[in-house]
Amino acid sequence: MRYSALSLLRNAFSGHQKWPQAWRKPHPKPFYSVVIVGGGGHGLATAFHLARDYGIRDIAVVEKGWIGSGNAGRNTTIIRSNYLLPGNIPFYELSMKLWERQEADLDFNTMVSQRGVLNLYHSDAQRDGYARRGNAMRLHGVDAELLDEAQVRAMAPFLDFDNARFPIRGGLLQKRGGTARHDAVVWGYARAADRLGVDIIENCEVTGLVREGGNITGVETTRGAIFAGKTALAVAGNTSRVASMAGLRLPIESHALQAFVSEGVKPLIPGVITFGAGHFYVSQSDKGGLVFGGDIDGYNSYAQRGNLPVIRDVCEGGMALMPMIGRIRLLRHWGGIMDMTMDGSPIIDKTPLPGLFLNAGWCYGGFKATPASGLCFAHLLATGAPHAAARDYRLDRFARGAVIDEKGQGAQPNLH
């Protein structure tokens, strides 16, 4: 059934009791052309694009919990394409264009809201850095505007402009950036993939990778072995764990990232605002809660929860930027596991093991990448060649010294 005003009206007459299930709950078959491990946004988007754009429909997405139980359902939902390096800008801009037509593509309201992303600057040097970033974006056809202090004051008068340590001098604005509803993105891809014949198998943990000779030919799971022509990993924070089942060591560390939501208040924050002098960013959900976050935890972990020092650091950042946030009550906070690469940029590539493909290293920025990641990974799986927009996301770039160090702050995940 297509979602439409008419279907909404028709179902209203039956008290909304007769909506069909959005996706099936199939049992795993013994063999698929492609098995995708990980039912987050990236795994599901890959399945959707494989089925719709490349005609491969014999696909299973296996997920150890429920779909969206990982980072896809835990992030702060920011989408943007305000990158600096040529390896990144075309990929993230492709993603932004796919966000712009996603609701039509999926027949699902993913609540894409282009309310703007504003990165604040606090010094002349930082302004110059943002001017360079904005120019790089514009050279690639991406929208960017460098705002002065008066323009930022008009947009967000509640900020602490005259903070003695971190006075706000202006900001870099990407108007087409914004937010999307993370759960809806997962559900939209799941429903669209399911309608194309993809089996989405929840509560099915991969416990091993099947090896025949040097090849990977499937997965061992808690629901039995599933054989596959191609096995594709999209397990985000668990990448190093699952890859180690095949004896692969990757340039990835896992760290927790936390986020917070406050009680609901009246409309206050116009878009997404990031503090340029510390780790803090904030937006406001459609329900009114302030959604904010900051830095990753400083040590490696696979636990989906964070620690108190980072909570304190985030709250200090919030207080420095907008002191009134100290009066608001915190409703919830939570954590997810980040797959941090050593240069802060992702990997979409074959692995040295024939039959095994890798989509990983999204760090804390993979939600915005979901549509393009799905498209580019599907392209690689279907054709065996990298998609033009993701051609620099090779695994061997670390060995070749061809890293894409977006922030230029060094080869340590805790510095990105």
Ligand X SMILES: Cc1cc2nc3c(=O)[nH]c(=O)nc-3n(C[C@H](O)[C@H](O)[C@H](O)COP(=O)(O)OP(=O)(O)OC[C@H]3O[C@@H](n4cnc5c(N)ncnc54)[C@H](O)[C@@H]3O)c2cc1C
Instruction: Write down the least CB distance from residue 215 to ligand X, Å.
Output: 20
Instruction: Write down the least CB distance from residue 337 to ligand X, Å.
Output: 7
Amino acid occupying residue 86: P
Residue 293 engages ligand X in binding (rule: CB under 6 A): yes
Classify 160 in phi/psi space as left (phi over 0), alpha (psi -120 to 50) or beta: beta
Q: Which is nearer to ligand X, 131 or 330 (CB)?
A: 330
Instruction: Write down the least CB distance from residue 149 to ligand X, Å.
Output: 26
Residue 243 engages ligand X in binding (rule: CB under 6 A): no
Residue 41 engages ligand X in binding (rule: CB under 6 A): yes
Q: Which is nearer to ligand X, 96 or 159 (CB)?
A: 96
Angle of helix 41-54 relative to helix 370-383, nearest 10 degrees? 50
Instruction: Write down the least CB distance from residue 147 to ligand X, Å.
Output: 21
Among residues 368, 375, 408, 403, which one has the least CA distance to residue 389?
A: 375
Given the rule CB under 6 A, which of 90-98, 108-116, 133-141, 237-245 is the region that contacts ligand X?
Answer: 237-245
Site for ligand X, residues 344 to 373, rule: CB under 6 A: 362, 364-368
Instruction: Write down the least CB distance from residue 17 to ligand X, Å.
Output: 30
Give the separation between CA 367 and CA 221, rounded to whole angstroms. 26
Residue 289 engages ligand X in binding (rule: CB under 6 A): no
Instruction: Write down the least CB distance from residue 43 to ligand X, Å.
Output: 6
**CA end-to-end span of the chain:** 44
Q: Which is nearer to ligand X, 51 or 369 (CB)?
A: 369
Q: Which is nearer to ligand X, 78 or 168 (CB)?
A: 78
Give the separation between CA 133 and CA 362, rounded to whole angstroms. 21
Q: Which is nearer to ligand X, 62 or 277 (CB)?
A: 62
Instruction: Write down the least CB distance from residue 27 to ligand X, Å.
Output: 16
CB atoms near residue 276 (< 10 Å): 21
> What tokens appear for 132 in the block?
């360079």
Residue 233 engages ligand X in binding (rule: CB under 6 A): no
Q: How many residues does the chain have?
A: 416
Instruction: Write down the least CB distance from residue 87 to ligand X, Å.
Output: 17
Give the separation between CA 234 and CA 56, rounded to whole angstroms. 18
Residue 110 engages ligand X in binding (rule: CB under 6 A): no
Task: Scan for tokens 């402009």, then name that residue.
Answer: 161
Instruction: Write down the least CB distance from residue 293 to ligand X, Å.
Output: 5
CB atoms near residue 406 (< 10 Å): 19
Tell me phi and psi for residue 268, to 5 degrees.
Answer: -135, -55
Residue 205 engages ligand X in binding (rule: CB under 6 A): yes
Site for ligand X, residues 116 to 175, rule: CB under 6 A: none
Instruction: Write down the least CB distance from residue 285 to ligand X, Å.
Output: 12
**Radius of gyration over every alpha carbon of the chain, rounded to an integer in angstroms:** 21
Q: Which is nearer to ligand X, 127 or 275 (CB)?
A: 275
CA 116 and chain centroid, separation: 17
Q: Which of 136, 144, 235, 403 binds ligand X (CB under 6 A)?
A: 235
- Total residues at the site for ligand X (CB under 6 A)? 39
CB atoms near residue 387 (< 10 Å): 19
Site for ligand X, residues 58 to 77, rule: CB under 6 A: 62-65, 69-72, 74-77
Give the separation between CA 298 and CA 14, rounded to whole angstroms. 52
> What tokens appear for 70 in the block?
């990982």
- Please list the alpha-helical segments (H only) found in 24-100: 41-54, 89-100
CB atoms near residue 270 (< 10 Å): 13
Q: Which of 39, 134, 218, 251 binds ligand X (CB under 6 A)?
A: 39
Q: Which is nearer to ligand X, 31 or 161 (CB)?
A: 31
What would the DSSP string read from start to end of 185-199?
HHHHHHHHHHHTT-E
- Would you tell me which residues interact with ligand X (CB under 6 A)? 37-43, 62-65, 69-72, 74-78, 205-206, 234-238, 242, 257-259, 293, 336, 362, 364-368
